Amino acid sequence: MTILTLDEVKEGEELPPLSYDVTATTVVLGALASRDWRPMHHDHDFAVHRNGTRDIFLNTPNQAAWFERYLTDWTGPRGRLGRMRFRMKGSVFPGDTMALSGSVRTVEVDDTGCGWVDLDLALRVGDQTCTECSARIAVPVTADDNPWDRRSGRWRP
Amino acid sequence: MTDVRALPDDVAETIGRTQYEETGEFPVERGYVWTTCSSVENGNPLFWDDDVAAEITGGPVAPPTMLSVWFRPHHWAPGRTGEAQPLQVHFDLKERFSLPEAVISDNTITFHEPVRPGDVVSSRQVLRSVSEEKTTRLGTGRFWVIDVEYRNQRAELVGVESYTGFGYRRETQA
């Protein structure tokens, strides 16, 4: 089981890339898992004729879940998300191969002793960036530190 | 910053005011956690291995990014006469300004106390701003920012989502 600690993280470091072939099942499963019943995430005709898009497309909460999985694959289970910001620039459709990438912007310890990593993440299809995400995740400062133990004033995401 | 003088009074007076305080329609449950993890092939043992969850988080937790899942209404429920919307202020603004289409362009989520199975999550919506009319490649409309605050049954803050929406009219609909 991976337990990434803060001393192992370097500014500018690139995360291992993740590639995934998106199908209609990926889109629909993600929409239903996030309880998002809006038709552009499951109804091809609605997506094309009403929304004017090429097909049904991945919804935002499911993209958040993809980015979370991507981050915690890297940190292991002691990584605790503090904040995520998404900017949607394009859609991800069935038939697309989406590629997640990320790099470490900053590494710091706040004045409560919590270790934080700020990252720039992207979800791309081919040459197009579909979603940009900036994320802040707490990572143990030492092997016996656990960000999940933090509450109220000791947790400042 | 929104110049509230440029907005209709009924919209201006809702800025900063709490709206739609709602309690989730079901307690947080692990079935959705596993469905969500499965949908993105998330093998984090925190969500699959009770021993790991007990050691690290004192018991099972839901993935933080599932925050909005717990406030989305059922597609249908007994006695419901209209479609329930998960971000009602967004749909109110679409209707108020007669903007048939809308997208969410930015979404920021801040995570606080972990959400655990059995929790009942309440939400409340606060409209932060509404822009003047703008034209983008999608069409002509307005941007707005809506915060959704989530609390558990002990009134502890579990997270805040901030959405930037763009309600618009496609050029062919003008």
Coil, helix or strand at residue A85: strand
Strand runs labelled E in chain B: 18-23, 101-111, 122-130, 134-135, 140-151, 157-169
Q: Measured between CA atoms, how close is B9 to chain A, in angstroms?
A: 30
What is the spatial distance between Cα A39 and Cα A57, in angstroms, rounded to a whole number? 10
Contact A64, A47 (CB under 8 A): no
β-partners of residue A106 are A118
Is the Cβ pair A83, B109 closer than 8 Å?
Answer: yes
Q: What pLDDT, on a 0 to 100 scale, did the predictor assign at position B5?
A: 54
Contact A156, A110 (CB under 8 A): yes
> For all residues of chain B together, what is the average pLDDT?
92
What is the spatial distance between Cα B39 and Cα B33, in angstroms, rounded to a whole number? 10
What is the spatial distance between Cα B174 and Cα A85, in angstroms, rounded to a whole number? 32
What is the spatial distance between Cα A150 and Cα A25, in angstroms, rounded to a whole number? 38
Please, is A90 exposed, middle or buried when counting C-beta atoms within 10 Å of its C-beta (0-12, 13-18, 19+)? middle
Mean pLDDT of A134-156: 96
B69: nearest CB among A35, A80, A82:
A35
Instruction: Using the structure block, give the residue that is written with the tokens 């291992």.
Output: A16
A112 DSSP assignment = T
What is the spatial distance between Cα A141 and Cα B108, in angstroms, rounded to a whole number? 25
* Chain A neighbors of B36, CB-CB under 8 A: 33-34, 65
Banded pLDDT at B172 (limits 50, 70, 90): low
Helix A24-33, helix A60-75: angle, nearest 10 = 90
Q: What pLDDT, on a 0 to 100 scale, did the predictor assign at position B173?
A: 54
Cα dihedral A61, A66, A70, A73 sign: positive
Q: Measured between CA atoms, how close is B100 to chain A, in angstroms?
A: 10
A87: nearest CB among B38, B72, B106:
B106
Query: Nearest 5°: phi and psi at B58?
Result: 70, 25
Q: Which of A61, A41, A91 is nearest to B159 (CA)?
A: A61
Res. A131: pLDDT tops 70: yes
Res. B1: pLDDT tops 90: no
Q: What pLDDT, on a 0 to 100 scale, did the predictor assign at position B87?
A: 86
The ipTM of this complex is: 0.96
More confident residue, B55 or B174: B55
One-letter amino acid for residue B49 of the chain = D
Res. B170: pLDDT tops 90: no
> pTM to 2 decimals?
0.89
Q: What pLDDT, on a 0 to 100 scale, did the predictor assign at position B81?
A: 83
β-partners of residue A84 are A135, B109
Mean pLDDT of B54-71: 96
Express each pLDDT in A72-116 by its tens digit.
999 999 999 999 999 988 999 999 999 999 999 999 999 999 999
**DSSP string of B39-56?**
HTT---HHHH-HHHHHHH
Instruction: Using the structure block, give the residue that is written with the tokens 């079935």.
Output: B31
Q: What pLDDT, on a 0 to 100 scale, did the predictor assign at position B163?
A: 92
Question: What are the angstrom distances between the C-alpha of A130 and each of A63, A133, B46?
Answer: 10, 10, 29
Give contacts of B 22-51 with A, CB under 8 A: 32, 35-46
Res. B4: pLDDT tops 60: no
- DSSP β-ladder status, B101-111 and A115-125: unpaired
Sequence-separated (6 or more) residues with CB below 8 Å from residue B23: B120, B121, B122
Q: What pLDDT, on a 0 to 100 scale, did the predictor assign at position B104?
A: 83
Res. B2: pLDDT tops 60: no
